[in-house]
Amino acid sequence: MDVIVVGAGPAGLMLAHELALGGAEVVVVERLTERVEQTKGGAIQPRTAELLDARGLLDPIMERVHARPVIGGHFAGLPVELDCTPWNTRNPYPIGIPQWRIEEVLEEAATARGARVLRGHEVTAVAQDANGVTVSAGTEFRAKYLVACDGAHSTVRKLLDLPFPGRSGTFKAVLVDVRLSSVSDLVPKAAGHMSALTREVENHWGMLVPIGGDKYRFTFGKLDEPETPETDDAVRQALVALYGETTTLAEVLTRSRFGDSTRQLEQYRHGRVLFAGDAAHVHSPLGGQGLNLGVQDAINLGWKLAATVAGWAPEGLLDSYHAERHPKAARVLHHTSAQRVLATPKPSEDVRALREIFTDLLSLPDTNRTIAGMMSGLDDETRVQDFDLVTADGPTRPAELLRSGRGVLVDLTGSVRLPEEWVDRVDLVHGKASQDFDAILLRPDGAVCWRGEGPLEPALRATFG
């Protein structure tokens, strides 16, 4: 076995797909016996949509999305939609879809490429040596590497006794999927911008979002209870307080708790054990960053670990995962901490003043573009927009060229040649396009590593061995 992935959430399943695409033998071990069909992380950010498109996974996800209006993102729940259209993306709006539906698509894709997903296997021991990692999870598994994608309370992280520095949360709220047998006029009839959905009444705060038929996603908490109960009675009480006595609970379908603690591993790699997703970083859920951050971790790590297993990775490639992804998560921890201040229920007079100023700033096009790029991930310095390209074989675009999981060298001059040493890892494509470069080299994860300036071979050697 090449790689054991612990955890069958979005990060773990995305990683399994990427590893299998890169030719690695991978098994995913999951504690739960079956997938929990809860909405949870309910949005795919525009940059994540681009990366999923580059693997051919966006279309099957779009077939499962919620029917909802096209709505821009938000910063701290302020009443200004974030506009991603200036970033020249084909998917400028967050995509609403239950997390379990995303997992469904990713698992189907990963297993179609040969990955195995084994459920009902709880990890109880992890031991590594110079040659690999041994995992006890009902049975014993042995592989060259292990990647922990097992969530905020990562068992692997605890078994290795790794510190998880940061700050404890200020509250624990409840997230439930419910059926309502009757609703008042206060209950929204369609999904909308977070600023229009959030309600506060006395000590209760919450948000109901329709997810089809009589089903709703209900997030709620109480200001005077730092750990809000998740019982049926607590759900009923919150519904009545926020939406009136004619809003009647029929059934709680799924339930979970979440908080706003902020923590991050100091290192994402510990020998032959690596960490991704919530196992590596946790933060306030404001802005819908967590699921997206984990999927992006997996796409960055997958091809690098597959290349390491295959033996062609250049020195330092695997360690570049930490070097590239740790700062990305640190930035999310930073701006979600700022959002936590602005979005606090029952704000003080000073916070209300700050919210008003921020709302005015977000109404300015340049500020909105900057914050939209940060929240969506589209301001990634290695990103290139998915431009239209005409080749001898017909029209295409980089997202389609990247679906093989190989590197792509796009030449717009007809004169660039790919040295023979790299033809088994990189595809050369000649074409015509309106771009401000003559040639561009893309890594398997779509990141730009050469823009036609200077010699090509050093870039190939540094990225592809």
| CATH number of 15's domain | 3.50.50.60
Are 34 and 161 part of one and the same domain?
Answer: yes
Per mean pLDDT, which of 20-29, 277-286, 335-344 is the most reliable?
20-29
Judge if 64 and 194 occupy the same domain: no
pLDDT of residue 77: 92
Do 76 and 39 reside in the same domain of the chain?
Answer: yes
Copy the structure tokens of residue 210.
Answer: 């329709």
Task: Say if residue 283 is in the same domain as residue 157.
Answer: yes
State which of 313, 341, 376 marks the end of a domain: 376
**pLDDT value for 417:** 95
> What is the C-alpha to C-alpha distance for residues 352 and 349, in angstroms, rounded to an integer?
5
Q: Which domain range does residue 459 map to? A: 389-464
pLDDT tens digits, 429-456: 999 999 989 999 999 999 999 999 899 9
pLDDT, averaged across the chain:
94
Q: Is 205 in the same domain as 301?
A: no
The reply to whether 29 and 145 lie within a common domain is yes
Which whole number is the average pLDDT over 390-407?
96
- CATH of residue 191's domain is 3.30.70.2450
Contact indicator for 174, 257 with CB cutoff of 8 Å: yes
The values of phi and psi at residue 189, to 5°, are -90, -15
Average pLDDT over residues 363-372: 98
Which of 259, 289, 308 delimits the end of a domain?
259
The pLDDT of residue 359 is above 80: yes
Quick check: 66 pLDDT over 80?
Answer: no
- Residue finishing a domain among 376, 407, 424: 376
Whether the pLDDT of residue 346 is over 90: the answer is no
Are 189 and 336 part of one and the same domain? Answer: no
> Cβ-count burial of 379 within 10 angstroms (0-12 exposed, 13-18 middle, 19+ buried)?
middle
* Confidence bin at 197 (pLDDT 50/70/90): confident
Per-residue pLDDT at 68 exceeds 80 = no
Q: Please report whether residue 128 resides in a domain.
A: yes
Per-residue pLDDT at 228 exceeds 90? no
Q: Which one of 62-66, 286-290, 376-380 scores highest in mean pLDDT?
A: 376-380
The total number of structural domains in the chain stands at: 3
How confident is the model over 105-138, as pLDDT tens digits? 999 999 999 999 999 999 999 999 999 999 999 9
